[in-house]
A and B are shown apart, each in its own frame.
Chain A
Amino acid sequence: MMLKSTLYDKLWNSHQVRETDEGASVLYIDRHLVHEVTSPQAFEGLRMAGRKPWRADSVLATPDHNVPTTDRSKGIEETVARIQVETLDSNCNEFGLTEYKMDDPRQGIVHVVGPESGATLPGMTVVCGDSHTSTHGALGALSFGIGTSEVEHVLATQCLIQKKSKNMLVEVNGRLRDGVSAKDMALAIIGKIGTAGGTGYAIEFGGEAVRALSIEGRMTLCNMTIEAGARAGMVAVDEKTIEYVRGRTYAPKGEQWEQAKVAWLELHSDDGAEFDRVVTIDGATIEPQVTWGTSPEMVLPVSGAVPRPEDEADGVKRGNIERALAYMGLEGGQAITTIKLNKVFIGSCTNSRIEDLRDAAAVINGRHVAASVNQALVVPGSGLVKRQAEAEGLDRIFIEAGFEWREPGCSMCLAMNADRLGDGEHCASTSNRNFEGRQGQGGRTHLVSPAMAAAAAIAGHFVDVTQEPKATKSEEV
Chain B
Amino acid sequence: MDAFTTLNGLVVPIDRANVDTDAIIPKQFLKSVKRSGFGPNLFDEWRYLDVGEPDQDNSGRPVNSEFALNLPRFSGAQILIARDNFGCGSSREHAVWALHDYGIRVVIAPSFADIFYNNCFKNGVLPIALSADEVERIFKEIDANEGYQLQVDLAAQHVTLPSGEVILFEIDNFRKECLLQGLDEIGLSLQHADAVRDYEAKRKQEAPWLFAS
Contacts and interface: CB of A to CB of B under 8 A. Distances in A.
Given A17-B196, A260-B207, A295-B18, A146 B27 contact: no
Interface in B112-127: 112-115, 118-119, 122-123
Contacts of B123: 149
Contacts of A123: 207, 210
Interface string A130-164: 11000000000000011111101100111101010
Given A22-B174, A148-B93, A435 B119 contact: no
Nearest to B132: A316
B186 to A, nearest CB: 5
Contact of A416 (B27, B89, B212): B27
A231 interface: yes
A2 B51 CA distance: 60
Nearest to A81: B31
A17 B199 contact: yes
Contacts of A381: none
Name the 7 nearest CB pairs between A and B, nearest first.
A57-B213, A252-B209, A149-B122, A22-B174, A147-B93, A40-B33, A147-B119
A84 B54 CA distance: 13
Contact of B33 (A87, A259, A441): A87
B85 to A, nearest CB: 4
A24 interface: yes
A425 B19 CA distance: 22
Interface stretch (B63-71, B161-169, B187-195): B187-195
B196 A157 contact: yes
Counting chain A CB atoms within 10 Å of each CB, the highest count among B27, B111, B189, B203 belongs to B27
B17 A150 contact: no
A83 interface: yes
Contact of A131 (B90, B122, B192, B195): B90
Contacts of A231: 114-115
Contact of A437 (B23, B188, B195): B23
Given A44-B33, A145-B91, A441-B45, 12 more contacts: A17-B199, A41-B93, A57-B211, A121-B209, A131-B90, A259-B208, A320-B18, A323-B16, A433-B89, A437-B26, A438-B27, A441-B51
Interface of A: 17-18, 20, 22-24, 26, 28, 30, 37-38, 40-41, 44, 49, 51, 54, 57, 65-66, 78, 80-81, 83-84, 87, 121, 123-124, 129-131, 145-150, 152-153, 156-159, 161, 163, 195-196, 199-200, 226, 229-231, 250-252, 256-257, 259-260, 263, 295, 316, 319-320, 323, 414-416, 433, 435-438, 441
B31 A316 contact: no
Contacts of A230: 114
A131 B115 contact: yes
Interface string B95-135: 01000000000000001111100110011000000000000
A22 B181 CA distance: 15
Given A80-B55, A129-B91, A256-B209, A199 B31 contact: no
Given A161-B185, A260-B209, A41 B26 contact: no
Interface centre among A37, A57, A257, A263 (most CB of B within 10 A): A37
B57 interface: no
Contact of A147 (B18, B20, B115): B115
A240 to B, nearest CB: 19
B192 A17 contact: yes
B27 A147 contact: no
B124 to A, nearest CB: 11
B88 A196 contact: yes
A22 B192 contact: no
Contacts of A323: 16
A147 B34 CA distance: 14
B35 interface: yes
A250 B96 CA distance: 36
A195 B18 contact: yes
